[in-house]
Every structure is written in C-alpha cells, then in structure tokens.
Structure 1
Amino acid sequence: MTNADTLPLLDVRGVCVDYPDRSRGRRATTRVLDDVSLTVRPGETVGLVGESGSGKSTLGRAVLGLAPLAAGGIRLGGRAISGLTGAARRRLAGELQVVFQDPQGSLNPAMSVRDIVLEPVIAAGTPRAEAERELRVLLDRVHLPADTADRYPGEFSGGQRQRIAIARALVRRPRLIVCDEIVSALDLSTQARILDLLVEIQDDTGVALLFTSHDLAVIRAISHRVAVLYRGRLLEFGDVRDVTASPADPYTRRLLMAAPVADPARQRERRAAYRAAFTDPAASPVTT
C-alpha cells in the first residue's frame, strides 16, 4: 500500500465558521462551527448527525466552498480547497459534487432531464454524442427508464426527482458527493430505496459520501463512520456501530432514544427515557 492510499480523501481540520448576527450589531457574528475536525476515506460514507442548528449542513457548505471559514482548513485528495474561487473552484467540480435536500428546488423545471443531467459535462467540453451515451448509463444506474430523458422534473415524484439529482451529481464522476438531508422529505419506503441505491452506487463506483441527516436511524443504515454535532461542536466521531451501540456522550444517547422503534411497548419506554433525559441536570448534552 502506498502512502497515497492511506491518506484521507477529505480532511477537515479545526474548521470554524461564523455567520453574521445582526441582532447584536452590524458587524457582530455568531460561531456556528467551532473547531470541527474529521476525515472521509476514499469510498467511505461519513454521516453527520444532529438536530436543527447543530452545524451539520454548514459543514457540508464549508466543504463545498459555500460557507467561508473563520479558521481551520479543508483538503481534498491532499490539496487545500478552502478559499478557492473562480476557475480553481470550477475545476474542483469534477471531484466534488452535491445533492440537495429539495430536488424540486434544485432542478430547473424548464429544462428536460437530459439537459439537467448533461449540462455539467457539456459545459466542461464533453462532445454531445459522448455525453448522450453517458446519460443512458446514468439513468440505468439510478434505476430510471430511458424515456425519463425527454421529460421534465414536474412530471416525477419526489423520490424520482432525487434520483435525477443523483444522476446529475454522478455525471462528472466525482470522488466525493455531499448529500445534504437528501431523504428527509421522503416517506420511509422511498427513503429506504434511495439509501439502497446510494450503497449500490458506492459499491460500483467507489465514490465517497458526506451524508447529513437529523435522523440517527438513517445515518446508521448508510454510514461507515458517524460524526455527532451539537451547537457547532463535534461531540463524537467514530465507527457507526461503536457510536450507536455505546455512545460516549449524553446527547448521542438522546438521539438514539428519539429514534422510533416498531414495538409500541419499547417505544413508550424509550419516549419516557427520552423525556427523563431532558429533565435530568446530570444529562447535559454538552461535554466538558
């Protein structure tokens, strides 16, 4: 094994992100990510989990260059990518892609699926005939029929639109895809099918995923490792089986108790334990 094989694909080190806070003054800021460090290995899925406001989507935006860093750095394939702009940022699109939470909002309703999926590679200079061949492969990869290409986003269900968004993310053959709450708006059965599809794609292509969700059950189903965030701080980061079986932080235990189970009796017990955790002063979610 070469040294390059042992390096992480994505290396996030000491990242801090501040957002403007107009309620405290014109130049005031609030720290929404505070000294967060994690890695993503080639072909691995790392889950980011936490409640709304935990900073998980902000971390994804920071990796994508959409949230400027106040401190720290981000490297992809050993190369610093934080702060890239212009042509350098556009070239990075061949290695780093994103699938957003709302496929209806992220897909242009006036464009056909063919144009939506192929626009990135045609803009990058791929001949049209070659791009068309790639389109057929991609639609098959995301389990959509060939006639999907000539239809428009409004003609599809939410799950189908998310498959189209995944195809678009894959067209440049990236090394890493940021998946930002991409199943949260879908019903449970559709969620399961999309998660199965991502696992299949990862097995076939070796693409790595940075996958954000507020649902620890979803994270457990797809991730190799998991990072637990709370109020911008990283509380735990490790193998998903270890973190979910023996969580070290009280907040992670609360997330586990909040996850629904099929047995009504167990669900009542978990709900009672969850409520008790929030009234127990010794169960503060902030570690020291």
Structure 2
Amino acid sequence: MSLLEIADLVVEYPGRGFRAKPFRAVQGVSLDIRAGETVGLVGESGSGKSTIGRAILGLAPVTSGTISYAGEDISHPTPARRRELTRDLQVVFQDPYSSLDPTMTIGDILTEPLIARRTPKAAAQTRVRELLDVVQLPSDTIERRPRDFSGGQRQRVAIARALALDPKLIVADEPVSALDLSTQARVLELFTEIQERTGVAYLFVSHDLAVVREMAHRVAVMRRGEIVEFGDGDAVTSHPQHPYTQRLLLSSPVPDPVAQEKRRTARRALQGET
C-alpha cells in the first residue's frame, strides 16, 4: 500500500473580480508515494506542482478528489487532526532566507515543534543536538541566528526542523533553487543521506529536470495543472515520451557548447507541439 495516494485531485481558487470564474490550478491529478521513496514533481512555473504539495499539507483547498495518508482520507481534516498530521507530514520551503524567523536562535527554531508536542525540555535539547549532527552543523549553531549563516547552512537548519518530529513524508518545495550549484549538490547529497538513514519519503518539487534526476525514484511531469508523464525516474528523465517533457530535458544546460547547440536546435524543432 502506498504511504500517500492522490486520486483525481482538483484545486480551485476564487476568481479575481465580480463574477469571475474560479481558477483551476490542478485538474484531476493522480499519483502515489511509497514509504522511503522520492517522487519528483517537475514542471515550469505555474504548472500547479507546488499547489499539490500545499494541498497535501492542508495549505491549499481541495475542491474535489482525495488525498489519502496511510489509508486515511486527509482531504478535509478537522483542525485538530491537521495538527496531529504535522508529526508525519513536514515541509522544506524554497527560500532559506524567509522560512526561518530571524528573531529566533537556531536552538529555539528547532525546539519549537518539539515543545509544541509537549516534549520535556531536556529531551528536546538532546533531540536538537541530534538534528544538528544529522544535518552536519556544529553544536554552537544553537546560540546563533539565521543571519549568521549562508543559504546552504540555513537550508540545513530548515531540513533539521522538518526532521524534528520524525516525519514519514517531507514535501520539499524547490528546496535548492535559491542556492548556487555547488551548494545545491551538497544539500541534495544531504537529502539522500537522510533518506537512507531514516527511510523518510519525499515529494520533491522542482522546475529543474536535472535536479529531479539526481533525487527521484519516480518522476511526474506537470503541465497546466495536469500530469502528462509519470514513471521510472531514469526513464522519464533520460528518454521522455511526452513532447513537453522532451522540451524540459532539452532546456537543461550542458557544459559542452556543441551539445548545447544541438539541444537548442532540437528544442526549436519541438516548439508548437503539445
């Protein structure tokens, strides 16, 4: 049985203006995530990929369809149940600069979800030290504030916060897009190491097919609110079948200028196809 299953999901937002029609951000999407698996969700800006992650977390309205976690329909949970679900479902946001409260120390940021769960203070402090070790940050990080760290280090703190309650699934929404390439590689390696150590599953949301190729066991490709291709990660990212996925692949830069020019030519040949 899948850890999380989405069936015929539709997400709509109210239209802007009097009598405006609702905007449908996601239309009839179905996918599943298994325990310990990474599913990559890739598409261009506005494709609806982040909306799916937000719907899983209860941050976007489910108009129709279902989201099931461990066999339980969580499409419209009560507020109390939604709070309970935060133990198992966590998120790492895109921007490590705005996702951490600049007025709090790192120790307070990491302790907060534990204290909310009524974890004794001594146990919470022990857990924070464990988390810093997992994300490879020094122990004196506890006394410092987010402004004292680089983007990559801040994202490590965000990952540690997501891991605090031992979740079963983390929605990683563009978690490396704000980082430089070398830092991206280190953070992606950290995600992989954590998964191997803990068995956590990821929904890894990204616009970059090359990044998703490094992370995902399976890949779903979104276009205009719909999934146009979903399958084995290597197959989808190396030999895509849908023209849209092929264009995404050809958009990824390569260091060889001759190969890059061939990609540009091939992409131009695909323009206009659906």
User: Which TM-score band (shorter chain)?
Assistant: over 0.9
**Which one-letter code corresponds to 1:219 in the other structure?**
V
**Which one-letter code corresponds to 2:12 in the other structure?**
D
**Which one-letter code corresponds to 1:190 in the other structure?**
T
Aligned to 1:236: 229
* Counterparts of residues 38-57 of structure 1 (less than 5 Å): 38-57=31-50
Distance (Å, rounded) in 2 between the aligned partners of 1:126 and 1:27: 48
* Counterparts of residues 62-101 of structure 1 (less than 5 Å): 62-101=55-94
Give 5+ residue unaligned stretches, structure 2: none
Aligned to 1:125: 118
**How much does 1:91 deviate?**
0.5
Distance (Å, rounded) in 1 between the aligned partners of 2:112 and 2:270: 50
Question: Which one of 166, 170, 192 corresponds to residue 173 of structure 1?
Answer: 166
The CA deviation string for residues 48-92 of structure 1, in whole angstroms up to 9 with x for no partner, is 000001000000001001111111000111111111131111010
* Counterparts of residues 84-233 of structure 1 (less than 5 Å): 84-233=77-226
RMSD: 1.0
Distance (Å, rounded) in 2 between the aligned partners of 1:163 and 1:240: 25
The CA deviation string for residues 252-278 of structure 1, in whole angstroms up to 9 with x for no partner, is 000010011111110111112212321
The TM-score with structure 2 as length reference comes to 0.98
Distance (Å, rounded) in 2 between the aligned partners of 1:219 and 1:14: 24
Give 5+ residue unaligned stretches, structure 1: 1-6
**How much does 1:39 deviate?**
0.3
Identity %: 58
The TM-score with structure 1 as length reference comes to 0.93
Aligned to 2:242: 249
Aligned to 1:12: 6
Distance (Å, rounded) in 2 between the aligned partners of 1:26 and 1:149: 51
Equivalent pairs counted in the alignment come to 274
The CA deviation string for residues 186-209 of structure 1, in whole angstroms up to 9 with x for no partner, is 001100100000000000000000
Distance (Å, rounded) in 2 between the aligned partners of 1:105 and 1:112: 14
Distance (Å, rounded) in 1 between the aligned partners of 2:72 and 2:111: 27
- For the residue of structure 2 that corresponds to 1:209, the secondary structure is strand
- For the residue of structure 2 that corresponds to 1:22, the secondary structure is coil
Question: Which one of 262, 266, 270 corresponds to residue 269 of structure 1?
Answer: 262
* Counterparts of residues 14-29 of structure 1 (less than 5 Å): 14-23=8-17, 25-26=18-19, 28-29=21-22
Query: Which contiguous aligned blocks of 4+ residues in structure 1 show a shift greater than 6 angstroms?
Result: none
Aligned to 1:4: none
Distance (Å, rounded) in 2 between the aligned partners of 1:94 and 1:119: 13
